[in-house]
């Protein structure tokens, strides 16, 4: 988490110093949906399925290369009841839903100037990370759920495709993490820090 924070700050300082004020002032509105991969810890990647995400945000361009975003994203994962039942010989399993909600302040640094039709970019951010795990109930036993809110980070890359002068679509893949451990209590698995991988497909509209 600390290393990611330092990388984000360094990129912001370098890019802002190099390209400040050139093309500043554009405001962008974003909306997305997509798929999120459960990456870590072992319990999350083994017993939860890839889930859906959706979100949106607003951005401000400091230059043709650098923008700042405020971005909300909601990620939900379904519990793999069949795998749990097979591994532990249990016929009836209920619950187990898992959610990650984030509200991030992102730095978006483009590799080529805005105004082109195809614009690859790097993105990194810090902000609120909230996770919620439902109870897992089987027979007369219950693995209690949990809910925690802490600092989170995200780092990734994407591509903007301009369809017209002030609107376009984007594809983005990132890796996110929360400064908190998931403790499921599922036998034979290791608990640990939460990591996830959102793949976003979305659209944006710009006011210049």
Query: Which domains, from first to last, does the chain contain?
Result: 2-207 (2.40.160.20)
DSSP state of 107: E
**pLDDT tens digits for the chain (208 residues)?**
555 555 555 555 555 554 555 567 899 999 999 999 999 998 889 999 999 999 999 999 998 899 999 999 999 999 998 888 888 888 788 888 999 999 999 999 998 988 899 999 999 999 999 999 998 887 778 888 889 999 999 999 999 999 998 999 999 999 999 988 887 777 777 778 899 999 999 999 999 8
Contacts (Cβ under 8 Å, ≥6 apart) of 190: 41, 42, 43
Name 17's bridge partners: none
Q: How many CB atoms lie within 10 A of CB 111?
A: 11
H or E element at residue 49: none
Phi then psi dihedrals of residue 47, to 5 deg = -115, 5
Q: pTM of the prediction?
A: 0.87
Rounded to the nearest 10°, the torsion over CA 6, 103, 150, 46 is: -100
pLDDT for position 2: 55
Length of the chain: 208
Q: State the pLDDT at residue 126.
A: 95
Instruction: From 47, 31, 61, 53, select the one nearest 99 (Cα to Cα).
Output: 53
- Confirm if 173 and 197 have CB atoms less than 8 A apart: yes
Residues 6+ apart with CB under 8 A from 162: 116, 117, 118, 119, 168
pLDDT the model gives residue 146: 83
What proportions of the chain, in percent to the nearest 5, are helix, strand and coil? 15, 60, 20
pLDDT of 10? 58
């Amino acid at each position: 988490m600390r290393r990611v924070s330092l990388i984000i700050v360094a990129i912001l300082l370098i890019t802002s110093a190099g390209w400040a004020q050139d093309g500043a002032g554009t405001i962008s509105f974003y909306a997305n949906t997509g798929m999120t991969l459960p990456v870590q810890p072992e319990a999350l990647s083994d017993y939860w399925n890839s889930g859906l995400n959706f979100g949106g945000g607003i951005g401000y361009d400091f230059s043709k290369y650098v923008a700042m975003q405020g971005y909300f994203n909601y990620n939900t994962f379904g519990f793999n009841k069949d795998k749990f039942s097979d591994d532990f010989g249990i016929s009836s399993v209920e619950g187990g839903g898992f959610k990650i909600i984030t509200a991030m302040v992102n730095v978006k640094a483009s590799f080529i100037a805005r105004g082109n039709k195809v614009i690859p970019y790097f993105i990194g951010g810090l902000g609120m990370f909230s996770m919620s795990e439902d109870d897992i109930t089987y027979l007369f036993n219950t693995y209690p759920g949990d809910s925690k809110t802490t600092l989170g980070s995200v780092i990734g890359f994407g591509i903007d495709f301009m369809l017209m002068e002030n609107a376009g679509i984007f594809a983005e893949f990132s890796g996110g993490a929360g400064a908190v451990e998931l403790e499921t209590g599922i036998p034979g698995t290791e608990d640990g820090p939460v990591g996830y991988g959102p793949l976003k497909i979305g659209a944006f509209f710009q006011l210049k």
